[in-house]
């Protein structure tokens, strides 16, 4: 295995999952400085899964804009390393517009959807990799936006050393269908999470769990849940976990060694209903068949950035031109959404972004204060939670997008975040 170093994951040659080629794959591989080249375009929202019994085999997913010249939108990229991250082979989730492979054209999202985003990945103990995301349409065609079809999907690959990527694509399943309404009205699925029960002693070993947010409009966002007990071939009918709680978003899933399933999410304040900002969870002790009622882990001061566009509309991110905000700041979108993981001792950990409040300075940008990533722990199955502690207390700088990972072979917990010292640019 090579020494640690920065390694380029994307911006190199792409191959199709079956080893073949088509116009889209060729465009993604092209680094020409032209509007028809895709190789120099951006990727974002990365996710990574390391094969537990083969730690040198790594798969990364990301929103990949290399497909924009081909069909006008991004798609989910799948990037594979068989040498511990020293080099990667790049590909796309099958089923994209222009996919000429038989497996891709058999996908239920071909040719229904023109974009896939929000990558989520995890391995089971049999060598199967589950790759999820949100498939939808937003591509303008002849002056009209096509039907949205915001589908929650999960694809299955299996480790296969003889395949082009080292993983062989098996199938894609629509776990939660959206409605075919236009312009993102109707029922739209978003913000997914995925976790496999990979504990050797668990009675539910091999189960695949998926949670996501359903946006039906009017602030009635719901957290949905589905499970597979047959290695991703089929998924159960989605159930609502958030019950009567409105404004529920951003779920995370943790699975304990005894098979208990925890689903954690962010509850956004809804003044009209007397609802506060909070981190909320439910628990299942029967492999995801049924869950407890939602319980609050902690009331929070979330770092949910907002401003006012020069046009007067509310903005979650600001830039230039039509995205110019009254404050003059430039910033990306950020919300306090939780992540969760369990260790081999049954402890459950949850992290999110918390604000250390500061006085209002009178401009249109909020919240005023410093964003710090915090961590809480339950050692008694969710009955109680520790006081949240900052994972990297700093007097200056802002922290976003925390991630949690647990290495059972070393019994170590890793908590990471993005930290900047100059968060806003005038």
Torsion sign over Cα 138, 330, 41, 419? negative
Tell me if 69 sits within 8 A of 37, measured CB to CB: yes
Give the pLDDT score at 98. Answer: 96
Which residue's entry shows tokens 């915090």? 374
Residue 142 has pLDDT above 60, yes or no: no
- Check if the beta carbon of residue 255 is closer than 8 Å to that of residue 263: no
The encoded tokens of residue 86 equal: 């020293």
- State the distance between the two ends of the chain, measured CA to CA, in whole angstroms: 44
pLDDT at 124: 96
The answer to whether 369 and 355 have CB atoms below 8 angstroms apart is: yes
CA distance 275 to 220: 12
pLDDT in tens, 303-326: 999 999 999 999 999 999 999 999
Asked whether the CA dihedral 231, 233, 237, 242 is positive or negative, the reply is: positive
Pairing assessment for the beta strands 140-141 and 144-145 based on DSSP bridges: antiparallel
Sequence spans of domains, the chain: 301-426
Chain segment 385-420, per-residue pLDDT in tens: 999 999 988 888 889 889 999 999 899 999 887 766
**3-class SS of residue 40:** coil
Instruction: Identify the three-state secondary structure at position 100.
Output: coil
Q: Are 356 and 372 in contact (CB under 8 A)?
A: yes
Closest CA to 97 of 88, 107, 86: 107
Length of the chain in terms of residues written: 426
Q: Write down the pTM of the prediction.
A: 0.93
For tokens 């770092």, name the residue: 303
Residue 137, pLDDT score: 87
Select from 289, 265, 104, 261 the least CA-distant residue to 198.
Answer: 261
Residue 317's φ and ψ, nearest 5 degrees, are -150, 155
CB atoms within 10 A of CB 6: 6
The confidence band for 212, taking pLDDT boundaries of 50, 70 and 90, is very high
Closest among 284, 281, 254 to 267, alpha carbons compared:
281
Q: Mean pLDDT throughout 155-159?
A: 98
Residue 39, pLDDT > 60, answer yes
Q: What pLDDT does residue 417 have?
A: 79
Q: Which two tokens stand for residue 169?
A: 């694509």
Report the C-alpha gap between 148 and 142 in whole angstroms: 16
* Confidence band for 271, pLDDT divided at 50, 70 and 90: low
Rounded to an integer, what distance in angstroms lies between the CA atom of residue 157 and that of residue 79? 13
For residue 158, whether the previous peptide bond is cis, meaning omega lies within 30 degrees of 0, is: no
Residue with tokens 């968060």: 423
* CB-based contact 401:377 (threshold 8 Å): no
User: 360-369 burial by CB neighbour count: b if 16+ within 10 A, else e?
Assistant: eeeebbbbeb
Q: Per mean pLDDT, which range of 57-71, 276-290, 400-414 is the poorest? A: 400-414
Q: Is the dihedral angle over the CA atoms 35, 65, 71, 79 positive or is it negative? A: positive
- pLDDT score at 144: 55
Token code pair at residue 180: 């075919």
Is the peptide bond prior to 111 cis by the omega test (within 30 degrees of 0)?
Answer: yes
Tell me the backbone φ, ψ of residue 361, rounded to 5 degrees: -90, 5
Across 291-317, b (16+ Cβ under 10 Å) vs e yields beebeebbebebbbbbbbeeeeeebee
Q: Taking Cα atoms as reference points, which of 292, 258, 255, 298 lies closest to residue 280?
A: 298
pLDDT at 182: 67
């Amino acid at each position: 295995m090579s020494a640690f170093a920065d390694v380029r994951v994307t911006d190199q040659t792409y191959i199709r999952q079956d080893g073949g080629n088509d116009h889209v794959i060729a465009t993604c591989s092209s680094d020409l400085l032209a509007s028809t080249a895709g190789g120099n375009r951006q990727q974002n929202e990365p996710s990574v899964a390391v094969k537990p019994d083969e730690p040198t085999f790594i798969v990364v997913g990301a929103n990949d804009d290399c497909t924009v010249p081909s069909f006008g939108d991004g798609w989910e990229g799948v990037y594979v390393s068989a040498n511990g991250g020293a080099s990667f082979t790049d590909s796309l989730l099958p089923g994209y517009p222009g996919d000429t492979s038989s497996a891709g054209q058999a996908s239920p999202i071909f040719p229904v959807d023109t974009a896939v985003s929000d990558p989520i990945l995890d391995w089971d103990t049999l060598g199967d990799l589950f790759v999820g995301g949100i498939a939808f349409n937003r591509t303008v065609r002849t002056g009209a936006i096509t039907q949205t079809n915001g589908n929650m999907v999960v694809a299955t690959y299996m480790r296969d050393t003889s395949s082009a990527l080292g993983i062989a694509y098996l199938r894609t399943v629509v776990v939660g269908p959206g409605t075919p309404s236009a312009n993102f009205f109707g029922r739209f699925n978003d913000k997914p999470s995925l976790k496999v029960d990979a504990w050797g002693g668990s009675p539910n070993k091999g189960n695949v769990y998926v949670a996501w947010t359903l946006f039906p409009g009017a602030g009635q966002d719901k957290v949905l849940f589905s499970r597979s007990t047959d290695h991703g071939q089929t998924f159960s009918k989605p159930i609502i976990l958030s019950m009567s709680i409105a404004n529920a978003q951003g779920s995370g899933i943790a699975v304990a060694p005894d098979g208990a399933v925890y689903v954690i999410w962010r509850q956004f304040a809804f003044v009209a209903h007397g609802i506060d900002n909070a981190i909320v969870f439910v628990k299942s002790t029967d492999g995801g068949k049924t869950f407890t009622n939602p319980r609050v882990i902690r009331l929070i001061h979330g770092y949910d950035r907002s401003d006012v566009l020069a046009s007067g509309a509310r903005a979650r991110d600001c830039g230039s031109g039509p995205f110019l905000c009254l404050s003059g700041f430039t910033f990306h979108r950020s919300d306090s959404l939780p992540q969760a993981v369990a260790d081999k001792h049954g402890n459950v950990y949850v992290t999110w972004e918390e604000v250390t409040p500061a006085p209002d300075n009178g401009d249109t940008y909020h919240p005023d204060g410093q964003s710090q990533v915090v961590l809480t722990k339950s050692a008694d199955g969710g009955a109680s939670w520790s006081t949240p502690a900052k994972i990297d207390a700093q007097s200056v700088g802002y922290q976003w997008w925390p991630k949690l990972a647990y290495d059972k072979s070393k019994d170590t917990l890793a908590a990471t975040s993005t930290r900047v010292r100059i968060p806003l640019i005038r």
